[in-house]
Amino acid sequence: MPDANTRSALAAHYQPGTYGADTGGHPGVFLTERRGLALVHLAGDASDGAFAHGVKTETGCALPTEPGTASEDGQGSAVLWLAPDRWLAVSARHAGGLLEERLRLGLGQGTVAITPVSSGRTVIRVAGARSRDLLAKGCPVDLHPDHFLPGMCAGTLIGPFTVVIHCVEPHVFDVFVARSFAGDFWHWLQEGAAEFGYRVEPTASGAG
């Protein structure tokens, strides 16, 4: 169970404020760390109705079965497709080990694998009119708004960093990165966003 008091990997780097190019008070990018989320990797059989029903019941999100898609509950929680038999469950409401507990009780044992990863990931929300331009600087995925739509996700690279990107809204993305690389990735984002002007928002707890 993750410790709710675990120090953020960005604690030494995170300074709210406006930086980079002078945009007359209209930064092109907004960066926010989403803290306090529950993150759980799931492995199971998507064709198993009991598994799909259990995921929906315990997370509030339907189990996505199409590659590169995600489902959301409208309250900051989501389930992201990672592979044909793997998903990432993200909850803003069931932190502190509660999501893992609910999933273990709701899905049973069987052939389901449930792995908490909250303490091993940092989640950064990248938003704003130039958010796609920033991410596209280091990402091989086609992030054009006609191709990478809200409700889509991808496991990919941004620069040298392995990440999962979730498009939440047309100009809002949640990026999941390994905790050990979070500080370096944060600096990459800051350097890339400087030309657009960017604002570091106060950290967000849970809800999106």
Together in a domain, 114 and 143 = no
- Note whether 137 and 112 are same-domain residues: no
Instruction: Quote the percentage of the chain above a pLDDT of 70.
Output: 95
Whether 206 and 37 have beta carbons less than 8 Å apart is answered as yes
Range of the domain at 159: 19-36+119-202
Does the residue 208 lie in any domain? no
Last residue of a domain, one of 118, 152, 185: 118
CA gap 139, 178 in Å, rounded: 16
Whether residue 2 has pLDDT greater than 50: no
Please tell me which residue, 184 or 107, carries the higher pLDDT value.
184
Residue 12 lies in a domain: no
- pTM greater than the 0.85 cutoff: yes
Instruction: For residues 117 and 52, give the distance between their C-alpha atoms in angstroms, rounded to a whole number.
Output: 21
Beta bridge partners of 122: 177
Is the pLDDT score of 205 beyond 80? no
Residues 155, 93 share a domain = no
Residue 208 has pLDDT above 60, yes or no: no
Is 40:104 a contact under the CB 8 Å cutoff?
no
